[in-house]
Chain A
Amino acid sequence: MGGFSKSLTGRVILRVDEVEKGLLVSLADQVCEFVTPEPRENADPLAAIVGIDMDAEFPDDPAMARLFPDAYPDDPEAALDFRRFTQRSLQETKLAHARTVLQSLSKSGEKITLGSGDIPSWLGFLNDARLAIGTRIEITEDNHEELADLPEDDPRHGMFHVYDWLTYLQESLVQLLLP
């Protein structure tokens, strides 16, 4: 297993085996599903065109709340307004990232070459997937060892190992991009 690297011509590449590739496809599919905006009946069509969602509410789901945090922690009214004016376009940005990753994966074999335009999407997707999984397994700065030692029949066992792998991938990509 390797992370992202640079080819001799300076392009960013990722080599994956079949299992890893299948896992990335599955994760990108799940992120797509997770961030796709709910269809709104009777929504003002003009508002929808400019990305306003007057029915947006604070998400109940902790992973959703982590991906779409409150902008005004001490002012629920302003926070809700901000959400109504920004959440839909944020969902669409995240959806576009995951779809770009799916496209990169579907047009490559075990060597994935990222165009410069694909890099922000890969970074965004890796981060969104980590935020969603990390929130689900309730990761903290101190419980990595505890999670790594969970018995195999614990549902968090597999999720932690996926999270750990995504962390490794993201770190390797960021290191290539930092000057």
Chain B
Amino acid sequence: MSSQLDVARPETEVVVDRPWITLVWNDPINLMSYVTYVFMEYFKYDRAKAELLMLDVHEKGRAVVSNGTREEMERDVAAMHGYGLWATLKKDD
């Protein structure tokens, strides 16, 4: 929808591209050591951060492992599926 009035109206709202997040979910098959390894290998997290995230997945059932644009998160989710981790993405809210 567009009208000439719109053109003159000052910008009062900034539409922010809200970040998206990649979640990794707990499952009974993936090894804790392997999940840590994947977080270090793919995201380049150090061992301490990778282990904390892995423990979150294991104990809380899921963890946010990355955030960014939708395209970036789709790339991360596809990579996690490549490693066999159960990952999903959603808009952060």
Contacts and interface: CB of A to CB of B under 8 A. Distances in A.
29 contacts: A67-B84, A69-B86, A69-B88, A71-B77, A71-B78, A71-B87, A71-B88, A71-B89, A72-B90, A73-B88, A90-B78, A90-B82, A123-B34, A124-B82, A127-B30, A127-B84, A128-B84, A131-B29, A135-B29, A139-B29, A140-B28, A171-B33, A174-B31, A174-B33, A177-B37, A178-B33, A178-B40, A178-B47, A179-B47
Contacts of A70: 88
- Give the interface centre of B47, B84, B88, B89 by most chain A CB atoms within 10 Å: B84
B78 to A, nearest CB: 5
Size category, B interface: 20 to 34
Interface of B: 27-31, 33-34, 36-37, 40, 47, 74, 77-78, 81-84, 86-90
B74 A82 contact: yes
Contacts of A68: 81
Interface residues of A, number: 34
Given A70-B88, A71-B74, A170 B31 contact: yes
Contacts of A123: 34, 37
Given A69-B87, A70-B88, A82-B77, 12 more contacts: A66-B27, A66-B29, A66-B86, A69-B81, A72-B88, A82-B74, A124-B83, A131-B29, A167-B31, A174-B31, A175-B33, A178-B36
Contacts of A174: 31, 33-34, 37
Nearest to A123: B34
A142 B76 CA distance: 30
Nearest to A142: B28
Contacts of B34: 123, 127, 170-171, 174
A67 B29 CA distance: 12
Interface string A77-102: 00000100010011001100000000
A74 interface: yes
Contact of A72 (B30, B40, B86, B89): B89
